[in-house]
Structure 1
């Protein structure tokens, strides 16, 4: 399928031309740099500004590239849909309106059927924030770089994947208490897509289509009772703690791949030395986003743990039902694979194996998977600010990232 298993086995032994992650020049770097034409690249991010998790990480990525090229490559940033919105980004980067952009594959099911199908792998998670972000993120990035059916699909749209990351598990933020299947029955719930809708419906909820920017008002006015989203929305983005004070930590799928892309023509115009540097920096940017997710979730966790503005509910009855639905969905994914995926069951199995491999790596670092009872969840939130993924990333970088360099 992807060749990840074989690549990782030899990754630490791969000899690489190019550059180190710190930007040290190797070989004939001066020659290519002398020949590099100055240019300004436009970056479009619909998700937020330079202070948000993605934006802050990408600004550091830009600064590293500008420094490495002695100022020949600089950037012009367009935040919060000021140039391209979520539905415009693929054609906009493809056609050169922007050079770099953020894409969620499920927004483009016609152009990205393989990427859309892979979103179902977001159900292969534990609900434990550290593991879903870092192990899920590592597996997502491996898949994004090595799965030919996916990279070919992006290339057909004149795009090259820079990096992808996975979110924490989605949970329920509600206006009313939900502690049982009886409470969940009929609750009007905003869902972001099929992978979440199917779980909500298995719990007996009624899903509602509502634009993201209308969710706050929808909860406030009773148009919806719940929203399926990361708990960080209590303190960032929509700041939902004022209108949805009931935290129901039942485990919904993560967003499997938030994907940063670059125009393929632009990418292919770069010399190999610069491509290798960007590859290394892109992986390091993914790591910074992992760490950023933990920091954001920690902020939400502090609000949740305080118990003053937000109340946490026991989801043991809901969790069993949700887990059973996610497992069934993963088992049935192969049947709905696009024609470009030649062995879909192998894709699913290998992805799950990679998630488990990186989960085990985190366990070896001392991070145990969090149980899904209220006390364990609150304890895990309290520890998120102390999580240091640097050693884990060194393992990922040596085993996988180095194997991807020219």
Structure 2
């Protein structure tokens, strides 16, 4: 009898487990169907459009400085759409991990966000190519960050092959590139102003571009996950770390590295795309798209401001903790510049086939950097004789008023670019 009741209980439990599994499976099927349901144009005008709730995959959490301008952007879109658009946020990889953001946006797992094509270099070869050319040219730190962001934005807006690869992948890029990391530099335990001081040292690097930068400087490149860098610094596995100011501050690297040479101007990170799922975009009426484009210019301005404020905070905090902002001597400057000249030449010789005239494109980026340098320094308050963040802080440098920047971005970049897009 006891054995019979035991077998009966086991059978009931098995049925319950199978029923539960079936429910989970059916829920997953329904969710998948909902996620991938094709969107049709909901109306000819915003007034006639049915409400839409869009999913946003945010790389960081809700309290991060990078997230705040995105939330402000989507809040303005909600307001200006009269509530027809609603945005539902999924933070810090809760919907899609960072390495799958680009494919996830194209597949419709979410509708809007910041994505990283660098994780799929074969699929986005033009993005990989353009990222190799994010070469700094200014010693004034705020002028360099702003010039890189806006020249890169305008350059990629006119780089048809770049946009086409994203469209082919199901992504409508409203900002096809917006680099706000600032130049990469070298944070070391000891002075790093000359090549002789770097000889024999080991530096953590983030990828192939920066491996070559390290080798050019006579460093031994070390590949480590960023989560292991702090301990590697502490234990002596590495002597230096290569990267940007905000990341150094956010990860606590100033606890161990006390000499930060950003003035050498190593290649910045520029493989940063902000966009909508293409099917979602195609479902918007034209007057809603015009609102989105207008607000994208404001988003770019606010994102640049947030990045510079974060970098200034990191600079001030690091200086208070004893960090020295070094600058390269003549020998190092010459070595870095020669390497970057070779990178530009190689980009012309080995560009993806999709880039119709690589020599012209490389020259166009140089021209756009000169254009934005002049606009920013002469008209928008980004000028000043500063050689580093340390110099900027020591001289009491202040960030400019960002309010006039939206109109400039709209006129110079967003309006011409939007006229060429679906």
For the aligned pair, the TM-score class normalised by the smaller chain equals: 0.7 to 0.9
Cα pair distance change 1:125/1:84, threshold 3 Å: farther
> What is the Cα deviation at residue 360 of structure 1?
0.9
Q: Which residue does 1:261 correspond to in 2?
A: 275
SS for the counterpart of 1:171 is strand
Correspondence 1:99 to 2:114: no
Q: Is the 8 A contact 1:94 1:263 kept in 2?
A: yes
Q: Which residue does 1:7 correspond to in 2?
A: none
Deviation track 1:43-95 (CA, whole Å, cap 9, x = no partner) reads 1122x223323211100111011101121211111222222222111111111
Higher-Rg member (1/2): 2
Deviation track 1:180-222 (CA, whole Å, cap 9, x = no partner) reads 2122123211212233222211110111111122222222222
Structure 1 residue runs of 5 or longer lacking an equivalent are 1-29
Q: Which residue does 1:398 correspond to in 2?
A: 411
> What is the Cα deviation at residue 124 of structure 1?
4.6
SS for the counterpart of 1:82 is coil
Query: 1:251 and 1:264 mapped to 2: Cα distance?
Result: 36
Cα pair distance change 1:144/1:271, threshold 3 Å: farther
Q: Which residue does 1:130 correspond to in 2?
A: 142
Q: Is the 8 A contact 2:248 2:254 kept in 1?
A: yes
Q: Which residue does 2:6 correspond to in 1?
A: none
Q: Which residue does 1:65 correspond to in 2?
A: 77
Q: Which residue does 1:243 correspond to in 2?
A: 256
Which segment drifts farther, 35-44 or 118-127?
A: 118-127
Q: Which residue does 1:367 correspond to in 2?
A: 382
Out of 335, 353, 360, the position equivalent to 1:321 is: 335
Which protein has greater RCO, CA pairs closer than 8 Å, 6+ apart? 1
Out of 289, 296, 299, the position equivalent to 2:303 is: 289
Cα pair distance change 1:66/1:258, threshold 3 Å: same
Cα pair distance change 1:186/1:105, threshold 3 Å: farther
Q: Which residue does 2:289 correspond to in 1?
A: 275
Query: 2:149 and 2:216 mapped to 1: Cα distance?
Result: 26
Query: 1:51 and 1:144 mapped to 2: Cα distance?
Result: 30
> What is the Cα deviation at residue 127 of structure 1?
4.2
Q: Which residue does 2:400 correspond to in 1?
A: 387
Out of 80, 86, 90, the position equivalent to 2:98 is: 86
List aligned pairs for 1:328-343, cutoff 5 A.
328-343=342-357
Out of 223, 228, 235, the position equivalent to 1:214 is: 228
Number of matched pairs = 371
SS for the counterpart of 2:45 is helix
Q: Which residue does 1:5 correspond to in 2?
A: none
Out of 362, 365, 375, the position equivalent to 1:351 is: 365
Query: 1:256 and 1:127 mapped to 2: Cα distance?
Result: 19
Q: Is the 8 A contact 1:294 1:385 kept in 2?
A: no
Correspondence 1:75 to 2:90: no
SS for the counterpart of 2:134 is helix
Correspondence 1:178 to 2:192: yes
Output the aligned Cα RMSD.
2.2
Q: Which residue does 1:6 correspond to in 2?
A: none
Q: Which residue does 1:169 correspond to in 2?
A: 183
TM value normalised by structure 2? 0.82
Q: Is the 8 A contact 2:258 2:323 kept in 1?
A: yes
Q: Is the 8 A contact 2:44 2:285 kept in 1?
A: no
Q: Is the 8 A contact 1:334 1:344 kept in 2?
A: yes
Query: 1:136 and 1:78 mapped to 2: Cα distance?
Result: 29
Out of 110, 119, 122, the position equivalent to 2:122 is: 110
> What is the Cα deviation at residue 380 of structure 1?
2.0
Q: Is the 8 A contact 2:135 2:340 kept in 1?
A: yes
> What is the Cα deviation at residue 370 of structure 1?
4.9
Cα pair distance change 1:314/1:138, threshold 3 Å: closer
Q: Is the 8 A contact 1:160 1:262 kept in 2?
A: yes
Q: Which residue does 1:43 correspond to in 2?
A: 56
Query: 2:247 and 2:385 mapped to 1: Cα distance?
Result: 21
Query: 1:390 and 1:327 mapped to 2: Cα distance?
Result: 36
Structure 2 residue runs of 5 or longer lacking an equivalent are 1-42
Query: 1:121 and 1:37 mapped to 2: Cα distance?
Result: 43
Deviation track 1:140-164 (CA, whole Å, cap 9, x = no partner) reads 2223333210111001111111213
Correspondence 1:199 to 2:199: no
SS for the counterpart of 1:140 is helix
> What is the Cα deviation at residue 377 of structure 1?
4.3
Q: Is the 8 A contact 1:162 1:262 kept in 2?
A: yes
